[in-house]
């Protein structure tokens, strides 16, 4: 359906003074997040990483882009006093900058096959320069499905961006949540499988 036939069907009349949009695409540094002009390949995972009497941390899926990998967690806790549940939920939105974060903060990290590591501690200041690539990998909060807290329960779906593409070999995801009795726990992913999926990411523009 052409633009003119669509306008005719829906009664849309274009204004003569509307500026024409540029055909260009504004790119961002790849360590800041996934390319917006790509459709990723979804890699289903459905892995429970760790579980205690009051909390569970699971990995939903990975989204493979040409420049990196997006991962989404499913996190829940239960059996908390309502005030504690609310505090726990809000504290996840205040990343610590100190070396020893509060026990209530959910710690997440990644270790690539070459031994390089990154975590959700320390904030964006470590890699904020859009012109200079970070020396090591990046694990950056990006997107996610939000969450809620109430009646003693907390539900979250935090998502992160891993840059660069992991080398072939084992990708280790690490978590720890001291307040909810989740000890340091590791799950392994296949880096070669993630790289293979990234090669099938779909560009939205031909050029």
CATH number, position 184: 2.60.40
| Domain annotation covers residue 13 | no
Higher-confidence residue: 6 or 192?
192
Spatial separation of the C-alpha atoms in residues 63 and 69, rounded to whole Å: 6
Q: Is the pLDDT of residue 18 over 60?
A: no
SS3 of 147, please? Answer: strand
| pTM of the predicted protein model | 0.82
Is residue 24 domain-resident?
no
At 182, the pLDDT band (50, 70, 90 cuts) reads: very high
Q: Where are the alpha helices (DSSP H) in 23-114?
A: 82-91
18 assigned to some structural domain? no
Q: Is residue 40 part of a domain?
A: yes
Output the CA torsion sign for 141, 193, 174, 126. negative
> Is 163 domain-assigned?
yes
Calpha distance 16→28 (Å, rounded): 32
| Cα 54 to Cα 82, 83, 125, 164, 179, distances in angstroms | 13, 15, 33, 34, 10
Q: In this structure, is residue 177 part of a structural domain? A: yes
Q: Which domain holds residue 135?
A: 30-202
Report how many domains make up the chain. 1
List pLDDT tens digits, range 25-48: 556 788 889 999 999 999 999 999
Least confident range of 14-28, 33-47, 180-194: 14-28
Residue 182 lies in a domain: yes
Tokens representing 156? 């979250």
Query: Does some domain include residue 167?
Result: yes
């Amino acid at each position: 359906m052409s633009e003119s036939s669509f306008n005719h069907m829906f009664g849309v009349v274009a204004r003569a003074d509307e500026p024409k949009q540029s055909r260009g695409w504004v790119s961002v540094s790849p360590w800041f997040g996934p390319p917006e002009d790509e459709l990723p390949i979804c890699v289903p995972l459905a892995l429970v990483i760790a579980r205690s009497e009051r909390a569970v941390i699971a990995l939903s899926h990975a989204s493979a882009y040409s420049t990196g990998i997006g991962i989404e967690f499913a996190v829940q806790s239960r059996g908390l006093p309502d005030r504690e549940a609310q505090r726990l939920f809000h504290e996840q939105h205040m990343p610590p900058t100190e070396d020893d974060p509060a026990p209530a903060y959910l710690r997440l990290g990644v270790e690539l096959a070459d031994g390089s590591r990154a975590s959700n501690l320390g904030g964006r200041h470590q890699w904020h320069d859009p012109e200079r690539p970070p020396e090591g990998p990046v694990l950056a909060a990006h997107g996610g499905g939000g969450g809620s807290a109430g009646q003693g329960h907390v539900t979250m779906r935090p998502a992160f961006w891993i840059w660069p593409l992991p080398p072939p070999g084992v990708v280790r995801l690490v978590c720890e949540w001291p307040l909810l009795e989740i000890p340091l726990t590791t799950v392994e992913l296949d880096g070669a499988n993630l790289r293979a999926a990234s090669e099938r990411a779909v560009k939205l523009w031909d050029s």
